[in-house]
Chain A
Amino acid sequence: GQQVMQIPQYQHVQEGEDFTTYCNSSTTLSNIQWYKQRPGGHPVFLIQLVKSGEVKKQKRLTFQFGEAKKNSSLHITATQTTDVGTYFCAGGLSGGSYIPTFGRGTSLIVHP
């Protein structure tokens, strides 16, 4: 079945450093979503990417969707302690019903 893999599993950074998490699918995706989950909280939707090669920015966050629509990345510039949490990607297969499959997530720990 469809698999969505994320790396790294954990990332420790000093406040002010950059952070990137990568998401790879075994199959072509129709679109991909990114979520943030704070410790003890529920996933919060950040953004959706639909087009091949798409790049979207939200303040210090940059999201990319690969040309083949099988991979994606989230880059945070100059991390802050408020960025702490686990970042998940989720994607659905092209064609048919949209059934979101989540990656394992990347936990970001920011040291002040």
Chain B
Amino acid sequence: EAGVAQSPRYKIIEKRQSVAFWCNPISGHATLYWYQQILGQGPKLLIQFQNNGVVDDSQLPKDRFSAERLKGVDSTLKIQPAKLEDSAVYLCASSLWGTLKYFGPGTRLTVT
């Protein structure tokens, strides 16, 4: 069984630039999560999808972050414009239902 795929693995941008991350969940997994993990902290949920509907996005900074999950499969997370404090690892995860078991390798973003 293929795991959760993410790209790119690393990204370096300057502040005020835009960036996009892509996630392909495990086949058949209806629930998809985007987490932000700042160095030394636990993952913070940005947005949770159930199929292509949003379950929770209460911690997503909507003035600069956006996410979509077209057709209930792949998902894209975008930041525009980026700030220095957005430097973090962005983790995508998926689950069939209930338990969050599978994380992707993450995208490490550095904003300079």
- A42 (CB) vs chain B CBs: closest residue: B103
The stretch from A60-68, A71-79, A92-100 touching chain B is A92-100
Residue count of chain B within 8 Å CB distance of chain A: 22
Docked CA distance A98–B48 (Å):
10
Docked CA distance A82–B100 (Å):
24
Docked CA distance A33–B105 (Å):
19
B43 engages A43 (CB within 8 Å): yes
A-B pairs with CB below 8 Å: how many?
49
A42 engages B101 (CB within 8 Å): no
B91 engages A42 (CB within 8 Å): yes
**Contacts A98-B98, A100-B33; A42 near B42 (Cβ below 8 A):** no
**Contacts A102-B42, A102-B43, A105-B42; A42 near B99 (Cβ below 8 A):** no
Show 7 A/B contacts (Cβ-Cβ < 8 Å), sorted by A.
Answer: A42-B105, A43-B43, A45-B101, A99-B45, A100-B100, A101-B45, A103-B42
B residues sitting closer than 8 Å to A (CB atoms) are 33, 35, 41-45, 48, 50, 55-56, 58, 91, 98-106
User: What 10 new A-B contacts, CB under 8 Å, besides A90-B42, A102-B35, A103-B42?
Assistant: A6-B42, A33-B99, A43-B43, A43-B91, A88-B42, A97-B48, A97-B56, A99-B48, A102-B42, A102-B45
Query: What 7 pairs between A and B have smallest CB-CB spacing?
Result: A102-B42, A45-B101, A42-B103, A104-B42, A102-B43, A100-B100, A99-B56
